[in-house]
Amino acid sequence: MIAEVIVDITNSTVDKVFDYVALDDTIVGQRVMVPFGRRNIQGFVIALKQFSDLTDDKLKTILYAIDDYPVILPEHIELMHFMVKKYHLRFVDCLRLFIPSELRSDDVKPLIKTYVYVQCNTQEYAKSVRKNAKNIIALCNFLVKGERYLKSELTKKYSQSAVSKLIESGILQIEQVQQNRTPKSYEMSEQKHKLTPMQKRAVDAILNKNDTYLLFGVTGSGKTEVYMSVIENIVNSGKNAIMLVPEISLTPQVLAHFRARFGNNVAILHSGLSVGERFDEWRRVLLGEARIVVGARSAIFAPIQNLGIIIIDEEHETSYISESNPRYNTFDIAKFRSEYNKCSLVLASATPDIDSYQKAIDGEYKLLTLPTRINDKPMPKIQIVDMLSEIRNGNTGMFSSALLYELDKCIKEKHQAMFFINRRGYSSFMRCTNCGYIPKCTDCDVTLVYHKKENKLKCHYCGKRFKALTICPQCKSTAIRNGAIGTEQVVAQLHEMYPQVPIYQMDNDTTRTKNAYQKILSQFGKSKPGILVGTQMIAKGHDFSDVTLVGIIDADQSLYHSDYKSTEKTFELITQMAGRAGRDKAEGKVILQTYAPRHYAYRFIANYDYKSFFDKELSIRKNTMFPPFTTILRLLFSSQSEEIVREITKLCYTNIKHLRDIYLDDFVYLDAMKSPITKIKNKIRYQILMRIKHEHEDEIIQKLYEICDKHTNAKVSMFVEINPQNLS
Ligand code: ADP
Ligand code: ZN
Ligand code: ZN
């Protein structure tokens, strides 16, 4: 037999399938060692066939198999082909996504523990040894026939020599057992609710027919119980499940729920695990020992067979899109796997992505709704506070009088408060603090980003540059401000006001260490009264029953982030944040501080009116021809040499212009420019930006790949990004 092998090597010119003569027991998906050039390297068998086009003298033979089980499933080999074509990736980069990196580098070994098994009655034996062999006698009295003990524990207590003696005498038999390193999680007792009629309707629909569903359920509507109930049914029917959550910070709570309900049947996969934990969890899934995978984005690649359901929680989250090499979109992968396994795919959110909701309207997804909270608890009331009028009334601090009043009440009643500082990305905008004016690009209608070093405003979409603002063109005021308030400032000020109240800070700075999230969240959970101040990390998923106040310090920061999705992201974030309040008996209240109180996004947020927001946003997208009406494509080039990268970009650009001449109706926008961040790690970055309509999208993308393949070379790295979330 001939084996088709992909070699594990980081050199783009050898990204091909090679033929080797297979060994007798070679199987598809196996890792093998093969001779390659003058060395031996690792490879993956992706197919077996009868004949090769190469002549016998050119064919080399596989040296040996590295593992005795296949590490890649047949499904994943097909997935690899799909990804290579769709995203223009290298074969080996896809394969690397499917297995833990530690496996490839052989950095991780199975954890083997040594046990001893007691073969016969040891009390009898104890009578036959010398009276002064105290350790042996004590050990014999302790051991019970037919039991198993960890050897190291016995030697610690009864001495090495005593244990050895019993092994030599054949009383104890050594057994090597592989141990699983299990990630820690919160302890939580199982709570299984009787489904409400609404929850039941959703569960029944999902189980009834294999399809793609959009579960649109307001915050606190009991989506988690829907997921668990669906998964329970699927597992009982003999099939397996994948459940994705957007971020590690969410995993502790969700995970604890799943562990409590499903025990060891759950495996967790995310980047926060230790090397050994990740390897063992992956292996448990591969061997079918764990049948439910809960994890972040990359868990979509879990080697789980016979899938019966894939659920993606908080589907609007950008973390589902991989923005660094290898670039991929989790939904494409989920869709592929659900079709391959003929199972349902559920996307769920309280604030669905505009694109997803459009698909639900078009019938591509089946819409399921949970329009009210569990037990018909009211949504917390959202009060919009105009910070400009606060300034006019002499309050120049960061907290409005309404927020101060509510906070005082909350603390007195021994409830909890969450203060949210919106910080998406690091770029900042300029704003007139007198009238609220914010400069926008004249060509793109997106907020300009202030670049401090050059003291210029730039459009991150078209690259156009503008003078930094000194006088407001609208009201002629010179009260221009840039930059934003940080979590630290807020915490400091709250400390001054309430020195006795525990205040916790949760952001990138305070959550660097392993388990830091869990620690902060569990401490806050116990503090009544208590305040948690944080970035978007605190906005999602958390279910604290005593939070009655949510303060949104400066809602506008993501509103004026420079991309077409910034309003949508603001709507999502603030709705999610508001959803943390009033989840139990006590009523919740949300204070939303803004300099643009009349912005349509806030009006719809305050009324929890997703549908109207969607309609408004969609009409804007239609007028400006942004997604979902078009697809944004970015070709990103980078190189050490500015000359070469400029040259190649120009060459590709010329070719793409020819392509546009053929597809004139499809191109809405095309331009080439330096990237907003001109240099990363000493590599100069250029980009070609496009917006194209959908009709010939796949065709055009394949042609773009061809152009790039033809013109790029080893000195330039090039990536194609489809609807990138970040254009810096
Ligand atoms: P969501 O994810 O939609 O924001 P959760 O799943 O966190 O909502 O549920 C909100 C609260 O309602 C949780 O405290 C949960 O335990 C509770 N809950 C869920 N389903 C039920 C039910 N059928 N009966 C009673 N309480 C429920
Ligand atoms: Zn002004
Ligand atoms: Zn522009």
Mean pLDDT (10-residue bins), the chain, 728 residues:
91 81 94 92 94 90 90 96 93 91 72 83 81 86 88 88 87 82 68 92 97 96 95 97 82 81 91 83 92 94 96 93 88 98 97 96 97 91 93 86 97 96 62 83 74 76 83 90 71 93 86 79 92 87 89 81 82 93 90 92 95 96 92 93 94 96 95 84 88 95 92 86 82
**CA–CA gap between residue 190 and residue 184 (Å, rounded):** 17
How much distance in Å is there from the Cα of 713 to the middle of ligand 1?
A: 54
* Residue to probe by mutation, ligand 1, list 231, 542, 543, 585, most atoms within 8 Å of CB: 543
- Ligand closest to the CA atom of residue 191: 1
Ligand nearest the Cα atom of residue 448 = 3
Q: How far is the CA of 430 from the centre of ligand 3 (A)?
A: 16
pLDDT for the residue numbered 679: 76
HEC per residue, 603-672 = HHHHCCCHHHHHHHHHHHHHHHCCCCCCEEEEEEEEECCHHHHHHHHHHHHHHHHHHHHHCCCCEEEEEE
Torsions phi, psi for 705 (to 5 deg): -60, -40
Atom of ligand 1 minimally distant from the CA of 543: 7
Ligand 1 atom with minimal separation from the 219 CA: 4
Point out the ligand 1 atom lying closest to the alpha carbon of residue 195: 23
The ligand 1 atom at the shortest distance from the C-alpha of residue 584 is 14
Which of 313, 374, 547 is the pocket-test mutation for ligand 1 (most atoms within 8 Å of CB)? Answer: 374
Q: Which atom of ligand 1 is nearest to the CA of 218?
A: 3
Domain 631-722 CATH (choose: 3.40.640.10, 1.10.10.10, 3.40.50.12280, 3.30.70.360): 3.30.70.360
Q: Is 650 exposed, middle or buried (0-12, 13-18, 19+ CB in 10 A)?
A: middle
| Closest ligand 1 atom, residue 313 Cα | 2
- Residues sharing a CB contact under 8 Å with residue 226, sequence separation 6 or more, in sequence order: 195, 199, 202, 203, 206, 215, 217, 348, 370
Residue nearest to atom 14 of ligand 1 (CA): 543
DSSP letter at 464 equals: -
Q: How remote is the CA of residue 596 from the centroid of ligand 2, in Å?
A: 12
Crossing angle for the helix pair 197-208 and 223-236, nearest 10 degrees? 40
Count of alpha carbons within 13 Å of 103, Cβ hemisphere only? 25
Q: Which ligand is nearest to the CA of 689?
A: 3
CATH topology agreement for domains 2-105 and 631-722: no
Give the whole-angstrom CA distance, residue 25 versus residue 42: 17
- Mutation probe of ligand 1 site: the residue of 190, 192, 193, 317 with most atoms within 8 A of C-beta: 193
Domain borders along the chain are 2-105, 111-179, 197-375, 381-423+487-619, 427-484, 631-722
The amino acid at 214? L
Which residue, judged by its Cα, is nearest atom 5 of ligand 1? 222
pLDDT of 428 reads: 67
What pLDDT, on the 0 to 100 scale, is given for residue 134?
A: 86
Separation of CA 566 and ligand 3 centre (Å)? 15
Give distance in angstroms: CA of 277 to centre of ligand 1: 30
| pLDDT the model gives residue 425 | 38
Which numbered ligand comes closest to the C-alpha of 432?
Answer: 2
Q: What is the pLDDT of residues 304-318, one digit of tens each?
A: 999 999 999 999 998
d(CA 221, CA 215) in angstroms, rounded, equals 11
Match 């879990």 to its residue by tokens.
302
The CATH class of the 381-423+487-619 domain is alpha beta
Nearest CA to ligand 1 atom 16: 222
Question: For residue 121, what pLDDT is reported?
Answer: 83
Output the residue whose Cα is nearest ligand 1's atom 10.
220
Q: How many CB atoms lie within 10 A of CB 576?
A: 23
Phi and psi at residue 160, in whole multiples of 5°? -60, -45
CA-to-CA distance for 307 and 292, rounded, in angstroms? 9
Q: Which residues line ligand 1 (CB under 6 A)?
A: 193-196, 199, 217, 219-225, 374, 543
- Span from the CA of 223 to the centroid of ligand 1 (angstroms): 7
Which ligand number lies closest to the CA of residue 480?
Answer: 2
CATH class for the domain made up of 197-375: alpha beta
The residue whose C-alpha atom lies closest to atom 23 belonging to ligand 1 is 195
Among 462, 443, 466, smallest CA distance to 673 is for: 462
Nearest ligand to the C-alpha atom of residue 624: 3
* Residue closest by Cα to atom 25 of ligand 1: 193
Question: Could you tell me the distance, in angstroms and rounded to a whole number, from the CA of residue 234 to the centre of ligand 1?
Answer: 21
Q: How far is the CA of 664 from the centre of ligand 3 (A)?
A: 22
Give CA–CA dist 194/223, Å, rounded: 13
Quick one: which ligand is closest to 477's CA? Answer: 2
Residues 633 and 720 sit within 8 Å (Cβ to Cβ): yes
Identify the nearest ligand to the CA of 215 by its number: 1
Q: How far is the CA of 433 from the centre of ligand 3 (A)?
A: 24
Ligand 1 pocket: which of 225, 243, 576, 577 to mutate (most atoms within 8 A of CB): 225
Task: Determine contact, residues 383/592, Cβ cutoff 8 Å.
Answer: yes
Q: How crowded is the C-beta side of 270, counted as CA atoms within 13 Å?
A: 24
Phi/psi of residue 134, each to 5°?
-60, -45
328 CB-near residues (< 8 Å, 6+ apart): 83, 87, 89, 97, 321, 322
Measured from the alpha carbon of residue 254, the closest ligand is 1
Distance in Å, CA 460 to ligand 3 centroid = 7
Give 476 Cα–ligand 2 centroid separation in angstroms.
6
Q: Which atom of ligand 1 is nearest to the CA of 224?
A: 6
Distance 727 CA to ligand 3 centre (A): 12
Nearest CA residue ID for atom 18, ligand 1: 222
Q: Within 10 Å of residue 666's Cβ, how many Cβ atoms?
A: 20
Q: How far apart are CA 540 and CA 578, in angstroms?
A: 10
- From 356, 400, 450, 407, select the one nearest 554 (Cα to Cα): 400
Domain at 2-105, CATH homologous superfamily: PriA, 3(prime) DNA-binding domain (3.40.1440.60)
pLDDT tens digits, residue range 47-66? Answer: 999 999 988 888 999 999 99
Ligand 1 atom 17: the closest Cα is on which residue? 222
Output the CA 444–ligand 3 centroid distance in Å.
4
User: Strands 18-21, 60-61: parallel, antiparallel or unpaired by DSSP?
Assistant: parallel
As residues whose CB is below 5 A from the ion ligand 2, the structure lists 432, 434-435, 437, 472, 474-475, 477
Best probe residue, ligand 1, of 198, 201, 203, 224 (max atoms within 8 Å of C-beta): 224
Calculate how far, in angstroms, residue 705's C-alpha sits from the geometric centre of ligand 1.
Answer: 47
Distance 437 CA to ligand 2 centre (A): 5
